[in-house]
Structure 1
Amino acid sequence: MCKRGLLWLAVGALLLGGPVNLVFADPPVADKVIDKPTNVKPVPRGMPDLIPYWNFDPPKSPLFDLKNFTVNGDMRVRPEIRTNSNFGVTQSLPGQPTTGRVGGANDWYVQQWVRIGLNYALSPDVDFFAQPQWAKNWGAADNTINNGAGCSAGGSICSNDAFNNGQADSLFLRQAFIMIRNIGIQGLSLKAGRQLIVMGDHRLFGHFDWANTGFSHDGVTFQYQQPTWELWGGWLKPMDQEFNGFGQQSTSFGVMPQGAPTSTASKAGADSDLFFTRLAFKPMAGLAIEPLWVWQRNGAAQANAASPINGVLAAHANGQSRHTAGMRVALRKSIFDGSAEGYYQFGSMDIGQSGQRAHINAYAFAAEGGVTLPIPWAPRIGLEFNMASGDGDAGNCTSANPAGCGGTANTFENLYPTNHIVMGYADIMAWRNMVAYSASLQFIPFDYAANHFEFRYWNFRRQTAGDCWYRAAQNCYYAPTATNTANHLADEIDFIYTLFFKNNKVAWQLGASYMFAGGFLDNQAGAGNQPVNQTWAYTQLHINF
């Protein structure tokens, strides 16, 4: 009993002695340097306390100035139609190669998004920016009575959007970051938060605005700018294994990483990280040279034993450490313009569940150029060539049969691109296991700034017959089969017309593509069957302010 009383006495002394100690401690002296002040209050938020938290009344900030606050916005509505999306041929899924003639698989839908950008300039060098976005397919917001799981008895309407057929995922933050310029060094800027990463011609990194949600990246980036060059780099977090998948997912394409959240003790080591650095400099007028290095590390082990692993799974597969090194060069001089970029990928990736790994050895190259004639309508005639490596062992490579992988992973990783604008408008091709040739004609009739025509022809082929045909989202469109060695996939003709009006605040666009089935699809349909050609078309209305 005596010991218990002494214990409570000691506890009381500690609780009371702390505040008394602070009261009687020597206060800091203003005109005297104190190396170790003893009476400094902690900062609970770990941040400047310019606007304190409140007990009841909300704060009225003396720092806010309306003239430093700006708003911008975008809204787009786009109906799309696609006929014979599988060319009338059975699609062979990874691990399940099949052939045969099937129905048309036609589709029609309307996509819409609206964005509001909110920017506040705290000072000329400090910006706060947030961009919420609402995105949905028309008809996906089902407002009818739903008596499914989660609804109360008696047939009442579900009040929780999570049970109302997809309503809950309509609204998200597309961008939200802090930007600080001239941080310690003139010309050095920092951006922290959710942001867009766009490089060059969008072949490796793009905003993917064509999709209904696009690509956003969470992380920290730095940029150091000088008059003739800039250095850009940072760390991005594509996926944390404590959570399931990307916060951003394309409604149209379903771009997702492989694997589910890990339940192991080493969750941090299983996360996905991406590091990059890019130098852009202009040694002379009209010429830009842009070397790039990217390290993509997806730490979670590959766990899918049934499907082919090497190159056949969708992009950003688990269990890989992939380096991308290369360069882009662009030139614009007089009536000529052109660009070329090439990249080599190396590292290693999982091919089994017992620690087997394959060496990554992949590459890609693209070149395009054009001539703009100095005559009315300013027609531009262009040519383009693209290629990206594939893997001849992809169809045989499974975690259950790592010997079938051949020890290497040769399929090029397309990273986070806007394939829609560089691989054909119909979105049937990614920069993976492909060879493509293109010719184009563009012109600006009637009024130089108000409208634009584009006609383009594409010839798409596989680089190797042992690997997939990959769609724009980098997923396997048709898996390889032992009997179908044809590489000619399809020919595509694109037509795009864009009209700007209302002082360029409104744009209307009309587009159509027609795809002719190639020899690969003839073989896929099998003897006595013929594939059918595919049509894709859209119209969209876009406003911004």
Structure 2
Amino acid sequence: MKFVRFSFSFLLFTILMSANAQVKVDAELRPRFEYRHGFKTLFPDNADPAAFISQRTRLKLNYKVEKYDFYISLQDIRVWGDVPQLVTADNSGLSIHQAWAKIRFDSNFALKIGRQEIIYDDSRFFGNVDWAQQARSHDVALLQYKKGAERFDIGFAFNQDNESLTGTTLTTPGTYKAFQYVWYHKDWSNFSASFLFLNNGLQFIDAANSDNNETRYSQTLGSHMKYGKKRLKFTGNFYYQFGSDVADNDLNAYLLGLDLSYKASDKTKLGLGIEIQSGNDNGAPSNGKNKAFSPFYGTNHKFNGLMDYFFVGNHFNNVGLQDIYVNSNFKLNAKSNLVIAYHNFSAQADLMNSNKKQLGSELDMVYSYKIQKDLFLKVGYSQLFPSEGMEILKGNTDGNTNNWGWVMLVVKPTIFNGSK
């Protein structure tokens, strides 16, 4: 810990003293209180609700010179009370969230390499999951092209758990072995479109025979499109998955999303939409076929309800989802706004031992207030109204209330911003 502090302090001093450099240093402190009574899954009998305060602390440094950029983001993630007082060693979540360099070959081409967030379009398939205190980043090499209204990215990742002498089997849980992708985006006057192709490799490990360990690849082909004119805006997401899943099932899955928003006034915006993700009958692949779509690296908390019942650490390879929703955004004054959304959920495929697909509905409300520059308060409340289908899906018929509330303070000062 002392070495990390010394190293970063020395690096910061060296950069600030460099000539012909643009330097910016930002910080972030984000404590959040949560009350969970049915968050992610139906609340069981004979249990107490959860309540805790988590906190993210970040220090971010961005250094720019003529031919390259350098960026580093250090973060500490903790729950208040997860280490004792007077502790001699802190084993909490100190980590490097981002550490990358961007090398500019000319005005159009660049190479961005290192640990970095990948965010495209509306974050449906690639996003940083900023709601999660730890957020998401990737170790990746990214070749970028940008000219006028066009952007073209090619990304490569290859993960390994140590510097081994033999073999390349990845044993790190919860991550991918490798991927390669191409993303293209272009803007027109009232229309924009993006196209994505991802070749995603997951590590298969055969416990009985290590010679059978292999990387199994699926492919995702998709598009994100937007059309806007005057007060109306249409957004569409279309993705298709094929290839093999990690269990070597043949993958045949899709996501379709359509969203309409209307700016009723300078203070009110209204929206409605539908998203369908394909799934498996009875909630599991069968006969070597998998029809369940996986939004691998998207900011899934942003979609399908804020209570995270779907595709946030759960619901993968299951019965899929149909989400019909309406939402509204009210600008209350110059410093505050209120977002209200209502979702109606149903299964896309058949539930086990039931001909009912209705899962229930959810109401989400988020209030935001700008206290002053770099200081924000956010408050949220969500209520889930489950139906019989949700009880079958989650294996819980206790019939309890399911709600979730939170309060978050965000402090994001710029410590230094200048050039020498």
TM-score by length of 2: 0.84
Deviation at 1:241, TM superposition (A): 4.3
> 2:98 — aligned with what?
175
CA distance 1:438–1:242, shift in 2 (3 Å) = same
Equivalent position of 2:409 in the other structure: 541
**1:119-268 to 2 correspondences below 5 Å:** 119-121=62-64, 123-143=65-85, 159=88, 161=89, 167-181=90-104, 183=105, 185-237=106-158, 239-242=159-162, 265-267=166-168
Deviation of 1:464 after TM superposition, in Å, equals 1.3
Distance 1:438 1:62 in 2: 49
Distance of 1:414 and 1:168 partners within structure 2: 32
Change (3 A) 1:526 1:453: closer
What is the CA deviation profile of residues 398-427 of structure 1, one whole-angstrom value per residue up to 9, with x for unaligned ones?
A: xxxxxxx21212111111111122221221
Rate the CA distance shift 1:464–1:67 in 2: closer, same or farther, 3 A.
Answer: same
How far off its partner does 1:349 sit? 3.2
Q: Name 1:151's counterpart in structure 2.
A: none
- Find the partner of 1:508 among 374, 377, 389: 377
Matches within 5 A, 1:277-292: 277-282=182-187, 284-292=188-196
Name the CA shift for 1:233/1:526 in 2 (closer, same or farther; >3 Å): closer
Q: 1:455 to 1:61 in 2, by over 3 A?
A: closer
Alignment equivalent of 1:68, drawn from 16, 19, 22: 22
Determine the C-alpha separation between the residues in 1 that align with 2:202 and 2:126: 18
Cα separation, 2, equivalents of 1:526 and 1:274: 35
CA positional deviation for 1:87: 2.5
Within 5 Å, give how 1:16-27 maps onto structure 2. none
Match for residue 302 of structure 2 among 412, 421, 432: 421
Please give the alpha-carbon distance, in whole angstroms, between the structure 1 residues aligned to 2:321 and 2:394: 21
Q: Which residue of 1 aligns with 2:268?
A: 379
Distance (whole Å) between structure 2 residues aligned to residue 485 and residue 88 of structure 1: 24
Asked if 1 retains the 8 angstrom alpha-carbon contact of 2:177 and 2:201, the reply is yes
Task: Tell me if structure 1 keeps the 8 A contact 2:16–2:23.
Answer: no
Q: Distance in 2 between matches of 1:174 and 1:366?
A: 31
1:506-530: CA deviations, max 9, x gaps? 1111110011111224557999x65
Is residue 313 of structure 2 the alignment partner of residue 392 of structure 1? no
Q: Distance in 1 between matches of 2:16 and 2:371?
A: 41
> By how many angstroms is 1:208 displaced?
0.6
Q: CA deviation at 1:487?
A: 2.2
Question: TM-score, length-normalised on structure 1?
Answer: 0.66
Partner of 1:299, secondary structure, is strand
Contact 1:289 1:328 in 2 (8 A): yes
Runs (5+) with no aligned partner, structure 2: 1-12, 209-213, 414-420
Label 1:512 to 1:131 Cα distance change in 2 as closer, same or farther (>3 A). Answer: same
| Map of 2:345 onto structure 1 | 460
SS in 2 for 1:168: coil
Counterpart of 1:149 in structure 2 is none
Contact residue 78 and residue 539 of structure 1 kept, 8 A: yes
After superposition, give the CA deviation of every residue in 1:415-453 in whole Å (9 maximum; x if it has no partner): 111112222122122285111000112111232xx2111
Structure having the larger proportion of residues in strand: 2
| Alignment partners' CA distance in 2, 1:135 and 1:204 | 25
C-alpha distance in 1, partners of 2:122/2:128?
11
Partner of 1:420: helix, strand, or coil? helix
Question: Partners of 1:216 and 1:171 in 2: how far apart?
Answer: 15
CA displacement at 1:326 relative to structure 2: 1.1
Contact kept in structure 2, 1:367 and 1:384, CA below 8 Å: yes
* Deviation of the 1:222 alpha carbon: 1.4
Once the two structures are superposed, residues 296-348 of structure 1 have per-residue CA deviations (whole angstroms, 9 ceiling, x without a partner) of 112333559xxxxxxxxxxxxx8531100011101221101121011111112
**Alignment partner for residue 340 of structure 1, among 212, 218, 236?**
236
In the other structure, the counterpart of 2:9 is: none
2 CA distance for matches of 1:88 and 1:486?
21
Q: Matches of 1:200 and 1:508 in 2, distance apart?
A: 26
How many residue pairs get matched? 387
Greater Rg, structure 1 or structure 2? 1
In structure 1, what residue type is equivalent to 2:227? L
Distance 1:525 1:429 in 2: 11
Give the 3 Å change call, closer, same or farther, for CA 302–425 of structure 1 in structure 2: farther
Partner residue, 2:211: none
Deviation per CA, 1:266-317: give whole Å up to 9, x if none. 32688700111100001x213111010011112333559xxxxxxxxxxxxx
Is the partner of 1:440 in helix, strand or coil?
A: strand
Give 3-state SS (helix, strand or coil) of 2:91's partner.
helix
Give, in whole Å, the separation in 2 of the partners of 1:459 and 1:366: 14
Rounded Cα–Cα distance in structure 2 between residues aligned with 1:388 and 1:62: 49
Distance 1:525 1:534 in 2: 13
Q: Determine if contact 1:83/1:104 at 8 Å carries over to the other structure.
A: no
2:389 is matched with 520
Q: Which residue in the other structure is 1:30 paired with? A: none
- Equivalent residue number for residue 254 of structure 2: 363
Q: 1:192 to 1:523 in 2, by over 3 A?
A: closer
Distance in 1 between residues matched to 2:161 and 2:355, nearest whole Å:
39
CA distance in 2, matches of 1:61, 1:535: 48
Change over 3 Å in CA distance of 1:542–1:61 after alignment to 2: closer
> Taking structure 1 as reference, are residues 240 and 486 closer, same or farther at Cα in structure 2, changes over 3 Å only?
farther
